[in-house]
Every structure is written in C-alpha cells, then in structure tokens.
Amino acid sequence: MQVSGSASLQPDGNSAGGRHRTRLRWALALVVGFLAVEVTAALLTGSLALLGDAGHLLTDVVGLGLALGAIEAAARARHHPRRTFGLYRLEVLAALANAVLLVGLAGFILSEAVQRLRDPPDVAGAPMLVVALGAIALNLVVLRLLRAGAKESLNLEGAFLEVLADLVSSVGVLLAAIVLLATGWPYVDPIVAIGIALWILPRALRLGAKALRILLQAAPKELPPDRLEADLAALPGVAAVHELHVWTLTSGMEVVSAHLDLEGGADAAVVLRAARRLLAQEHDVDHATLQVEPADAETPCRELTW
C-alpha cells in the first residue's frame, strides 16, 4: 500500500507579487501621467533631449505594465483543468522580459553615447534640468511604492529595477545639465550616459539569471535538496527519502515532492502529518506532495532514469 498527501498552495491564492498589486497600479498610473506631461513638453518646446528622456520613461511604462499584466492574469486564472498551477509563471516571464528590456536599453545607451563622443550635438541644458528634477521626484515616489514588493517578488524586482535605472539616469541627466549650463562642455552627456548603461547592465543580467533559474526549475538557494532530504529522513518512522524534487513556481511559492520509505510498524498518517508540519514550519513550504511507502509494500517504487 502507498499513501500520498498534498498540502495546498498559499491560502490566499496570491503570489508575492499579487500582494503588492495595488501599489504597482499606483506606480504605473504615476509614470503614465508624467510620461504624458513630458511628451507634451517635448512637442511644445521642440526639445530632442526631452523627447529622448520621454522614450526612456516609456521603458518604465512597458516594464511596469508587463509586471502588472502578469499578476492580473495569474490572479484571474488560478484554477483551470488544463492549467493546474494557474498562470503564475507569467510573473517570472515578465521578470525575464524586463531583464531583456533593460539589457537592450543599456546597449542602446552605449551605442548612442559612442556616437555622441565622436560628434557631440548641441544639447539644451535648461529643459534637461527641469525634466531631470521632475523625473527624480517621480521615481523616488514610485520606488517607495515598489520597494517592499521588490524584496519578495522577482516580478516586482524587475519593475523596481526599471524605475531605479530611470532614477540613476535622471540623476545623471541632472548632473550633465548642470555641467552644460556651467561650462558648455558637450562631452559630459555621453560620458554620463555610458556610466548609466554600465550601472544598469550587471543588474539586468542578475535579474535575468534569477528568472531563468526558476524557469529551469532549479532548486531555490534557500531550500537546498540535501538539507530537505536530511530533515525528512530524520523524522521518526522514516527509513529513507527518494525522488525528492524542489522548485519555485513563482516568487514566494516553493513546491516540494518526495517519496518517504517507512520503517517497519510506522504509522503512515502520523509520518505524513509530521512531514507536512516540518516543511511548513521549518522551511516555509505551503505546497508539498508526499508519497509514503510502507516497508512491506508489495510494489516498491521504481526510480526514474531521467
């Protein structure tokens, strides 16, 4: 006889990102509003610098929109006969898309900066200064809205990095505008741009690596399989543990499956309850599928070869 049991997903059915959905909506609304103001100002003044900064802000809108769209889709499609885990993986895909967007943005900035070093254009310092101050104020507000969620959700971390990159860019634009107004030196703009791109690139690559780790179903760093196996094997009545798998569905949702071989005379129900309690209380795993195999099982479990 084989006995199995499964602990359910988090009671509220929400991912880590879903718990911060309202703050993400506010952040997106603020950025869209400022983008509209900036585009209007660029068209009225004919400033290419303002239009370029508006294009940078547009990447924030795309990044925040991807993050929010993935959370909304996951929240509305948790239960479906053909999607037993819902659409939570969309949040990880959104984080990966944000990482790709950031890498592309860094590459574009580097390319443009090199061109400007060769032939620096005339840049108006005053409009740059005004827009940079407004963008810095906006980004600080949005970062405050996203900060808590970014610590819990890979998806929100991607959105947070988008806005943080824009904040660093705006600070760079502010410094460049001050130097331009004070000295007129044209090379400060591309030099600052190169510094911004080099700051963005490693953070974007780290975000992409985290997303790929989840998509490849690698074990989370905070849940090493060898430690889980040792803890489960140490439970009273457990003779051995095999077929242990640990992966992340999306940020804040770790999943475990394992087969537990029982010692002779051990009560399967008691062992199952103890294993669930151990995973929930000691390892913060709310979803675990455990197969308990008595010592006298007529059909022992066959190890997989893949």
The identity of residue 247, as a single letter, is W
Dihedral pair phi/psi, residue 288, rounded to 5°? -140, 135
Q: How far apart are the first and last CA of the chain?
A: 25
The per-residue pLDDT for 106 is 83
> Would you say the C-alpha torsion 184, 187, 188, 193 has a positive or negative sign?
positive
CA dist 225 and 231 (Å) reads: 10
Residue 165 has pLDDT above 60, yes or no: yes
Q: Which CATH number fits domain 219-293: 3.40.50.300, 3.30.360.10, 1.20.5.510, 1.20.120.1730?
A: 3.30.360.10
- In tens, the pLDDT along 179-226 reads 888 888 878 878 887 887 888 888 889 989 999 999 999 999 889 999
- In tens, the pLDDT along 130-143 reads 888 988 999 899 99
Integer CA distances (angstroms), 306 to 243, 244, 252, 300, in order: 11, 13, 28, 18
Q: What is the DSSP string of 75-142?
A: HHTS--TT-TTTTTHHHHHHHHHHHHHHHHHHHHHHHHHHHHHHSPPP--HHHHHHHHHHHHHHHHHH
Q: Which residues pair with 95 in a beta bridge?
A: none
Mark residue 83 as left, alpha or beta (left: phi above 0; alpha: psi -120 to 50; beta: remaining): beta
Q: Is the model more confident about 165 or about 235?
A: 235
**What's the fold here for domain 18-215?**
Alpha-lytic protease prodomain-like (1.20.1510)
- In tens, the pLDDT along 40-57 reads 876 776 555 566 667 667
Q: Where are the domains of the chain?
A: 18-215, 219-293
Integer CA distances (angstroms), 90 to 58, 64, 129, 230, 306, in order: 21, 14, 38, 33, 27
Residues 6+ apart with CB under 8 A from 205: 99, 103
Q: Which two tokens stand for residue 105?
A: 């943005």
Mean pLDDT score, 148-173: 84
The kind and range of the H/E element at 255 are strand 253-262
With cut-offs at 50, 70 and 90, classify the pLDDT of residue 32.
very high
Cβ distance 70 to 94 under 8 Å?
A: yes
